[in-house]
Chains A and B, each alone.
Chain A
Amino acid sequence: MSRTKLVLTGNYASAYAVLHSKVEIVPAYPITPQTTIVEKIDEFIETGMLDATMVRVESEHSAMAVAIGASAVGVRTYTATSSHGLLYMYENLWWAANARLPIVATFVTRTLGPPWNIWSDHQDFMTLRDSGWILFMVKDAQEAYDLTIQAFKIAENPDVRLPVGIAYDAFVISHTAEPVELLTQEEADKFLPSPRAIQPLLDVDKPYSIGNLPRADYHYILRKNLWENILDAKKAIREVGREYGELSGRDYSSLVEEYKCEDADTVFISMGAMAGEGMDAVDKLRDKGYKVGHLTIRTYRPFPDHEIKTIAENAKRLIVFSRALSNGKGGILYDDIASTLYREGQRIETYDIIAGLAGTEVSEEDFMKIYYDTRSGKLDTGKSIFIRRGEYV
């Protein structure tokens, strides 16, 4: 059987990945812009293509609670949510990570209200930053498909055992159709182990309880253990990405995607859909003779410290685009990068650009304008600079 290429939205690409991963249970609650993922999965189930149970729960909090229960008995589990749904799910998202459950979820990023807004920024996603979830952010539907399949293999790895989230921007990716090459079912089956290989935490023949009161000293060690495991997970992510590359021809062995960075003196850093605009801007600036590159952060947690360090060894200026804000501090991605540079003892020019909040568009012209203004010294390093549709605000 040969591979098919379908024109799919990001959400349908995620649903196809769930189909090919032979997910067994999908507890989900609808919220724009995530809804069409689970609608499509429901269609796969209803038409007999996918042998799974869809649990129609009364809230996102319950969706993750069902996911926790299912994953604890070793069932391959998937759910998806967005924005206020993600925040409503929040308590159990941390619970899933601390219980070391290999759940996979898609987070379609959407601005938090009030005021009401269904468009993308990364504020909802960033609340998961410290939770212990392995977090990917992808920039197109193909990556959404590819990484969702890889996510199960990473999460279920006995040396990792952490939930994995795949995030992408509302509408720009979730509802925009593009050609996506799918694995055949045989290829996916060969790539992913059977769900029966998942080590269950709960087993009727060998009773355990999860989350009993421990001594604080022991609890501290559990925290340290998760921290070590999520850092070690970089190895598993690279290994699974390499293996997927051999299978599909699309390599994911790096935590980041470098675009024309080799000889660049200035590197844009961004994540999600706006990376496309960043790379277009790089092409235009290169045409004019400027040595510019773009770095896309695809694996957000564990954070690609080593890759950032390598980029900063060659570049003299990093321009970081954050689509989420730590109120009272600065751009969240910027602070991640700045902290890596400080820990590595690297002192180079960095710029904190806040762009695309509340779903405002980020264009290649925005990237170019920022580049020119950093060159001419018009912008301050280290200060949060807000740009909205080409204007500083």
Chain B
Amino acid sequence: MGEVMYPVTEPGEGAAGKTGNWRWQKPIIIIDKCVKCGLCWVYCPEPAIYLDKMGYPHVNYEWCKGCGICAHECPSKAIEMVSEYE
């Protein structure tokens, strides 16, 4: 008998490969304005934002799709969306 194959995926890099190349705009974090609230980290749906030991956010551009949610949510306007093509 053939082994049963299930339509399931383990958490990992994803069957679609790295999703960073889907992006047409990218978030740039302006550390000077950042208040370390962590909201960008909370809201990132991927998640492609991680916090360093100091609590500052950084973007993993291999997975960031450039949705802009972090920039929209940032209360101190410390994230700017910049076009990938200009």
A interface residue numbers (CB < 8 A to B) = 98-100, 158-161, 201, 207-215, 218, 221-222, 225, 228-229, 232, 235
Binds A, one of B10-18, B34-42, B62-70, B73-81: B10-18
Is B54 at the interface (CB under 8 A from chain A)? no
In the complex formed, the residue of B with least CB distance to A100 is B6
- Contact between chains at A235 and B6 (CB < 8 Å): no
Q: Within 8 Å CB of B9, what residues of A?
A: 208-209, 212, 214
Cross-chain contact of A213 among B1, B4, B15 (Cβ < 8 A): B15
- A287–B48 Cα distance when bound, in Å, is 80
- Contact between chains at B15 and A100 (CB < 8 Å): no
Q: Within 8 Å CB of B16, what residues of A?
A: 213, 215
In the complex formed, the residue of B with least CB distance to A206 is B10
Please judge, given known A-B contacts A213-B16, A214-B15, whether A225 and B8 are in contact too, CB under 8 Å: no
By DSSP majority rule, is chain B's interface helix, strand, loop, or mixed?
Answer: loop
Q: Within 8 Å CB of A225, what residues of B?
A: 2, 4-5
Q: Within 8 Å CB of B7, what residues of A?
A: 98-100, 210-212, 214, 222
Shortest CB-to-CB span from A125 to chain B, Å, is: 25
- Contact between chains at A215 and B8 (CB < 8 Å): no
Cross-chain contact of A210 among B2, B5, B8 (Cβ < 8 A): B8
Q: Within 8 Å CB of B14, what residues of A?
A: 212
- Contact between chains at A209 and B8 (CB < 8 Å): yes
- A209–B16 Cα distance when bound, in Å, is 14
B interface residue numbers (CB < 8 A to A) = 1-11, 14-16
* Among all A-B residue pairs, the 8 with the closest Cβ atoms: A225-B5, A159-B1, A208-B8, A228-B2, A161-B4, A212-B9, A232-B1, A214-B15
Cross-chain contact of B4 among A160, A207, A212 (Cβ < 8 A): A160
Q: Within 8 Å CB of B6, what residues of A?
A: 99-100, 161, 201, 210
- A100–B5 Cα distance when bound, in Å, is 8
26 contacts between A and B (CB under 8 A): A98-B7, A100-B4, A100-B5, A158-B4, A159-B2, A159-B3, A159-B4, A160-B4, A161-B4, A161-B6, A201-B6, A201-B8, A208-B9, A208-B10, A209-B11, A211-B7, A212-B14, A213-B16, A214-B7, A214-B9, A215-B15, A215-B16, A225-B2, A228-B2, A229-B2, A232-B2
Shortest CB-to-CB span from B22 to chain A, Å, is: 12
Shortest CB-to-CB span from B4 to chain A, Å, is: 5
- Contact between chains at A207 and B2 (CB < 8 Å): no
Q: Within 8 Å CB of A159, what residues of B?
A: 1-4
Q: Within 8 Å CB of B15, what residues of A?
A: 212-215, 218
Q: Within 8 Å CB of A212, what residues of B?
A: 7, 9, 14-15
Q: Within 8 Å CB of A100, what residues of B?
A: 4-7
- A210–B11 Cα distance when bound, in Å, is 11
- A205–B7 Cα distance when bound, in Å, is 19
In the complex formed, the residue of B with least CB distance to A160 is B4
- A238–B5 Cα distance when bound, in Å, is 23
- A347–B16 Cα distance when bound, in Å, is 49
Given contacts A159-B1, A212-B15, 6 further A-B contacts (CB under 8 A): A100-B5, A208-B9, A210-B7, A213-B16, A214-B9, A225-B4
In the complex formed, the residue of A with least CB distance to B7 is A211
- A208–B6 Cα distance when bound, in Å, is 11
